[in-house]
Structure 1
Amino acid sequence: MKNKKKVFHLLGLCTALGLIYFTFLQVKISQYSHLKAPKNADYLIVLGARVKGTVPSLAFASRIHAAAKYLKENENTIVIASGGEGPGEDISEAESIKRELIKKGISESRIILEDKSTDTYENIRFSKKLIQKGAKAGLIVTNNFHMYRAISIARDNELEVEGIPAKTPLIAVPKSYFREYLAITKFYLKRYFLDSI
């Protein structure tokens, strides 16, 4: 009987700690979901996402739309389109960004391609190498659920950036947020534990 009580107490404690942790993650995500981008940034980095053949997914299209809107309003800002070619993709994510931005009236001369990265860490590291000398004010463009982790990784790589959070389509919210909770947990483990080993 005592053992059963201990098990229930342990399960209850784990459940409570889990709820506290996921509430903490949601608060951090929410804090970065409503950022207002400063005007006249030197550069912005659009983070890649899934491409279906040659067509950007809904969440990805939302990122590209947000980037295009800013670029039209800030004509001196250069854009780095970041993302390699993954399974089921006929073109790189960077190329998809470029094509869609050109369709929206953004000059090709303003677009720099980073088409080798396979995850957010590489998006940031590889894009950093393409930032023009003297450029200081930067922006990250990604979906609102992804903004906290993206900016955290950028700042860990010594990029002082702000963000342009793109809306996440409702149909993609449950899956996107669940995956992001796991991705942030992996980020914390890598930052605080694995890097110190």
Structure 2
Amino acid sequence: MDFLRREMMIRSNKPRIVTNVIRVVIVLFVLISLWLGYAWVQITSIPSTKALTRADVGIVLGAALWGDVPSPGLRERLDQSLREYRSGAFRYFIVSGGLDTTKSRPTEAEGMAKYLNDHGVSKSAILLENKATNTYENLLFSRQIMEEHKLQSAIIITHTYHGRRAMEMAESLSYIDPQLSLVESRVLKKVPNNLREILAYSKWTLNKLGIPLDI
């Protein structure tokens, strides 16, 4: 009798358990969908920044090299930095980026510096940050270079999809009134690029909350 009673209780509880599981799945789906929508809006809307004022440095955030030359996407950032430099927006470049892979020869920073040299920028105007492997390190190590050279203000140069995360990271690293100079890419595929940035922005947000996550 006890066995039969237990069996009946288990069977009667099964529909309730299944219902609760379905409810949890639905709630998680809704929450994830809401977050993805919010993250999409964040990265596709240009962060509000005041008009550029003259700064000490323009920090060019690294991206891939093709061999030993900047990829088309990275050239867009470098060309944007050249426009700002020639307009008098900043005095020095910081080009930031380490090795793409263990088999790479030049660092991203070295490839960027050569590109700038080839476009008429003096080597004395370029500071190299050769260690960074992600955006947070780009800004962290660039901040250290600024401190070493007693440089105070910075314009961060990157693509529009990347601007929101870059600005939030700069603010978290206590940059003084950081500014953005953003370029809309004509060579990078918009949808897959934005989807990758949603994952990166989600990771950054979790990290800010003290939840380490590698994706």
Matched residues in 1 for 2:89 and 2:182: separation? 19
Match of 1:128 among 133, 138, 143: 143
Match of 1:91 in 2: 106
Q: 1:23 — aligned with what? A: 37
- CA shift for structure 1 position 21: 0.8
Q: What does residue range 1-197 of structure 1 map to in structure 2 within 5 Å?
A: 9-32=23-46, 35=49, 38-74=52-88, 77-87=91-101, 89-131=104-146, 132-133=149-150, 135-160=151-176, 161-169=178-186, 171-194=188-211
Shift of 1:22: 1.4
Deviation at 1:85, TM superposition (A): 1.3
Amino acid at match of 2:179: E
C-alpha distance 167-36 of structure 1, shift in aligned 2 (>3 A): farther
Q: Deviations over 1:34-78 (max 9, x none)?
A: 756513211111111111111222221111111111001117521
Residues 37, 163 of structure 1: 8 Å contact kept: no
d(CA) in 1 for partners of 2:193, 2:45? 17
Paired residues of 1:80 and 1:114 also in contact (CA < 8 A): yes
Structure-2 change in CA distance of 1:171 and 1:44 (3 Å): closer
When residues 130 and 156 of structure 1 are mapped into structure 2, their CA distance, relative to the original with a 3 A threshold, is same
Q: Structure 2: which 5+ residue stretches go unaligned?
A: 1-14
Q: Quick one: distance in 2 between partners of 1:35 and 1:97? A: 26
User: What TM-score, normalized by structure 2, do the two folds share?
Assistant: 0.79
Give the alignment's Cα RMSD to 1 decimal: 2.3
Shift in CA distance, 181/44, structure 1 to aligned 2, threshold 3 Å: same
Larger Rg: 2
Give the Cα separation in 2 of the matches to 1:64 and 1:82. 11
TM-score normalized with structure 1 length: 0.86
- Letter in structure 2 aligned against 1:191: K
The farther-off stretch of 1-10 and 35-44 is 1-10
Unaligned runs of at least 5 residues, structure 1: none
121-130 or 87-96, larger mean C-alpha shift: 87-96
* 1:81 counterpart SS class: strand
The percent of aligned pairs where both chains have the same amino acid is 27
From the superposition, tell whether residues 25 and 69 of structure 1 become closer, same or farther in structure 2 (CA, over 3 Å): same
Asked if the contact 2:58–2:90 (Cα under 8 Å) also holds between the matched residues in 1, the reply is: no
